[in-house]
Amino acid sequence: MQVLYFAWMRERIGVPKEEVETSAETVAELVEELKSREPRYAAAFEDMAAVRVAVDQELVELTAPLEGVREVAFFPPMTGG
């Protein structure tokens, strides 16, 4: 699936998006998998209270399932307007 990062998450991880092969069943499992890969992911996902997630462009909770999902995005709380 495509994994996208925005704002400071993009800066900490160093790429705006990447293709990720995973067997994670939920967003939370995907986060744990990414964190174990490299320190830059561990740093970006250090404080999950400051991370929001969208699955196929809809805001979801960390417990959301990933089956059939094409796009997951991680970003900080939104500051538009």
Residue 1, interface with other proteins (CB under 8 A)? no
Strands (E), 1-81: 2-5, 17-19, 52-55, 58-60, 71-75
Binding to other proteins, residues 25-44 (CB under 8 A): none
Please say which residue, 23 or 68, places its beta carbon nearer to other proteins: 68
Backbone angles phi, psi at 48, to 5 degrees: -70, -15
Report, in Å, the least distance between residue 79 CB and other proteins. Answer: 5
Q: Which residues are at the interface with other proteins (CB under 8 A)?
A: 4, 6-8, 54, 57-59, 73, 75-81
